[in-house]
Structure 1
Amino acid sequence: MDFTNIIKENPSYRAYGGANGIKKGILLENEPYMLKIEHRDKKNNRYKNSVFSEYIGSKIYSILGIPVQEVILGKLYDNEKEKLCVACKDFKEKGEYLYEFINIKNSILNENSSNGSGTELKEILEAIDEQNFCNPIEVKQRFWEMFIVDSYLGNFDRHNGNWGFLVNEITGNKRIAPIYDCGSCLFPMAEDEKLKIFLNSKEEMEMRVFKFPNSAIKENEKKINYFEFLISTTNEECLNSLKKIVPKIKEKTEIIENFIDSIEELSEIRKKFYKKILNMRKELILEPALERAKNMEKINQKRKIVKKLKEEELEL
């Protein structure tokens, strides 16, 4: 979609914060959207690929059936130059406010806690249990589903400031916000020449599976490595989410690959890299983690059976 005239003629007069790019508020068919536009930072790095990351990451969440903000890929002309952009629908309904998790966590801190921006996993899970905005069970389920899909997408920047709750201060209704801010997925800083190098090297590709990117969430002040965490965790909610989400990813892989192939603005090398890295992260991180989760479930079931039989023997 060409947003050149829309950005001039239909501003929404809403302002948006955050890093990674120029953001403009627009109205599209009387609905508010945030337009993220490619730009160059002070180091002359181009954020064109973060537009692709935002668009593709959001669409993959949608394909997997997880609530996510609507996105539209587009372009605009600025100073006689064509720029790529992505329109992200403002999902707040009338009377709703977005309370990012950083603010929720900040409101229930105790003297032993870090500040709201602290991303220690233990503190995040404790804050989810203590908050009274939304059902903690549902929030944890969304948190772990988001963590697992982010591990698939290679998201290195899912922090406390880019997920949260929507609160209607008129009606008092509260709900978990759709997923938003996926611009740090899929290695946005790598240009096509770099992708060619990666694709021609098994070692380079495996580094981008097993070594980095890491999650922004931490354990013991160290950023979590997705592979190491998912292959070793005993967190029951995380294991349950693995058993729910990974089969969906496997089922939808062909749809995801066809979607990537359908994006005309992507170079062929970028299409090839996206499909390859997603497949590797699925096969080398998520599928082994799923098998382990299933095996743990079988072991626990056997233990329960043995325990029950022993209890019955004692009764006899």
Structure 2
Amino acid sequence: MNFFQNSFSDDVGKALFGILNSDSTDTLNLVSPDNTSDGWLKKKWITNNGERILLKAGTAPYYQEPFNEVLTSEICNRLGIEHVEYKIIKNDGTFYSSCPDFVSPQTELVPAWHIVNTLKKNNSTSNFNHLINCCGELGFKDTEKIKQGICRMLTVDFIIANTDRHYNNFGFLRNPDTLEWLGLAPVFDSGTSFFHSESVFSLKNPYLRESLKIKAKPFASNQKEQMKKIPSKEYCSDLDFGRLDGISEFFGKLISKNPYIEPERAEILCKTLDSRIKETERLFEN
């Protein structure tokens, strides 16, 4: 079913968000792209003036994930990194992140999980190089650009302390008709980051916010080790981190809209954002 150009029902989306009238279950229309949406966050597709928009909610107790998506968009904007643009919308008293569909009838997303299983990995090859080797085996034209894109994505993940960049959370674009590989997909789905579920009590402990203690995926178990395992200096040295000046103020104003994030938590997060940017700069300086 081609949902890019054909209409679809919002019944499944309503059911996923728990707002479907029980009287409507007998006439439930299952024709919807929501049937195959991955991930554990509540999400649904809508159309707005013909454009396909994905809405994603946050999780209790802070409902911070949608705001993290917008923060990531702003960081990528300032650093010139290709990404999916996220915005905050409010509907029925709930905040959602919204983003346009970044694939089309002429493109499809292939998760990295399918790529990384193309070849059998040997013990002497790092996970990063193994993925690049698999790209070469499949006929990617510019593996250097793939290396650059992944390193830049993971540098942003380091800043936002993203703990969920698994192999199904980034991928590659392909022409579904010719099967030509088009390159790395833009950065997307970064909400499970920036201590979204940590309490204020935990955030007050600076030890828990150290990069060696923050989990990472897919190439290492913590953020600091992951940056060591990728050629970030080679492919990210031209990033101008000075363009991130003032971004903590941007994030502070953004999360002030969220009634579940108290001022003390917001202050800690903004200070942490500044410190993570400085730590990222030191990684490249050293």
Quick one: percent identity of the two aligned structures? 23
Q: Does 1:274 align with 2:269?
A: yes
Q: Does 1:23 align with 2:30?
A: no
* From 30, 33, 48, the counterpart of 1:14: 33
Superposition deviation, residue 187 in structure 1: 1.0
Larger radius of gyration: 1
Superposition deviation, residue 134 in structure 1: 4.5
Distance across 2 between alignment mates of 1:243 and 1:112 = 30
Superposition deviation, residue 111 in structure 1: 7.2
Q: What whole-Å deviation, never above 9, does each CA across 1:190-224 have from its counterpart, x for those lacking one?
A: 2xxx23x356x4xx1243123321211235xxx1x
Name 2:163's counterpart in structure 1.
156
- Note if contact 1:12-1:32 (Cα within 8 Å) is conserved in structure 2: no
Name 2:5's counterpart in structure 1.
none
- Match of 2:186, SS? coil
Structure that is richer in helix per residue: 1
Superposition deviation, residue 133 in structure 1: 3.4
TM-score, length basis structure 2: 0.76
Q: Does 1:68 align with 2:83?
A: yes
Name 1:296's counterpart in structure 2.
none
Q: What whole-Å deviation, never above 9, does each CA across 1:69-109 have from its counterpart, x for those lacking one?
A: 121201222xxxx2221112111123211111111222x22
- Match of 2:149, SS? helix
Alignment size in residue pairs: 252
Amino acid at match of 2:209: R
- Match of 2:238, SS? helix
Q: What whole-Å deviation, never above 9, does each CA across 1:99-126 have from its counterpart, x for those lacking one?
A: 11111222x223758xxxxx93343243
CA, structure 1 residues 173+239, in 2 after alignment: closer, same or farther (shift >3 Å)?
A: closer
Q: Does 1:257 align with 2:240?
A: no
Distance across 1 between alignment mates of 2:245 and 2:80 = 13
Q: What whole-Å deviation, never above 9, does each CA across 1:155-192 have from its counterpart, x for those lacking one?
A: 111111111122223464623211101011211112xx
Unaligned 5+ segments in structure 1 are 40-44, 114-118, 293-316
Distance across 1 between alignment mates of 2:138 and 2:170 = 15
TM-score, length basis structure 1: 0.70
Unaligned 5+ segments in structure 2 are 1-9, 15-29
Q: What whole-Å deviation, never above 9, does each CA across 1:253-283 have from its counterpart, x for those lacking one?
A: 22x2232133241443343223211111222
Q: Does 1:59 align with 2:79?
A: no
* From 224, 228, 243, the counterpart of 1:227: 224
What value does the CA root-mean-square deviation take over the aligned residues? Answer: 2.9
Name 1:102's counterpart in structure 2.
113
* From 41, 52, 61, the counterpart of 1:32: 52
